[in-house]
A and B are shown apart, each in its own frame.
Chain A
């Protein structure tokens, strides 16, 4: 790890959406990773935990949201309705965001439950998710604009992209959005939605730095001024896992009803 320079290049506000309700499966690791890397690049970071019912912070340069359970999801729905306009405005304005699993689904148009009930989402990403009984679980490898990305997917929702919607990546090993069309996640402006746990950012620092670069520009009005960060551990962890998963081949859909 490299030591950050002594004088700060600026202050970046990182907002973690619903860390209590929507942060299982280690998604907190994304926040830890972003905060640490922001510091290592020589910027100050302020991590703001946003809980349901709290006022949304005035400054928000970078947003992170994770996966949750049904109970967690229903707890945040009301709050998302309150801050929805703000989130849509920030997204349209280029604010970088990474939304994983449950929050990815809620950033889409709608979630349609297995009995046909349609739950509206924020509509920031042009995706629609249908609940289904089989879970898509396992290691996953993608090709993305930031190179190969590795993670672990664990979702029962099958997500379809709208006609003009760009995916986050192309599935090389694993299931992705729906197990059918080889797409994974979605990307609009600087908003990334993805099913990848692992968590995604520590092992894929190129994605983390792309988000940080956009956040730094928004926070300071200047281009991102990165430091040399030693990513040998992340690179080794990522390439080893990619090699293993590629050797195992494309995963088949597993029936994962409990046992």
Chain B
């Protein structure tokens, strides 16, 4: 299949094409020509003069459901959801049944994505079954293609295990990802502890549950001199702690979930369980600090925090509902709408495509003649309504259904395949 993209604005920093409009010819999955005007009678023509073109985006920490939780999501459905959201790759979390905790499960995911558009980069479990007790076979998983190690939604609480894991992966320059949460401080918490939780009579999750976990993990990081990423921080103080740790020279990075960047705990005033997520939605001052932290480079990238859940886990009384919301298909539009007009599309692409790959040590696709076409084509001005019927994910647990968004993915390209959403 040959495709001729006519005149998209190319986002490819450090190239001559950057922020300019060119025709791009893709033949059999390879970029074969980039020029001011191209003609090819065999190619499907895509008029793209209103669109941006960047390398394909990557989401870190996606919950994929398969194996074992296919009633929520399977690899096929999560792939469709990812593509609709502009992602040509996901680095998936290991919270499946069984967990992704040995070579076998890593191979299962790699095998699935081998001949598909989407690249699935498995994040292997730090501990067997993500239970936080016994170290999983990290080296073997690394050898099989695991790109990092994390117990995913389960924060590693066992200090000795975390210390040993940080040390052990140094043999192959591995990265540990931890969701920072001191679980016994947040034990029965249902939402951010603050004025709103007080009004609603709901047990709170104090900000210090996250901040203490970060302090503790940074102490271990300094001791082990290893590499650590904090998955989805949510408080203003967390930003400051990480800023100081980076200034000190520690090899630490952090991400923030898109919902935590754009929403506050006030959304819970009506007990809507679709806003019940972890880390919890916090206060406006936290949201502002997270945005600033992102703009200043303290926070390295954004995640969709895609957490599919069946309706039975959400359409229940608030305290009985599970934490999480789907996010792949709405993430770009939210980032496009809520991060301020001073944020350029180039900056968004840095957060959605370049920074996550850099941190995971993955090869960064290029937009150049001769390169494999791993691309996302998107329209930053298109408005659209997020309809439940259009959701590609098997689960529909999103608080945004029915809302109008600005910014839409037009097409994705990877491994000789393309998917258009025109």
- Is chain B found bound to chain A in the same assembly? no
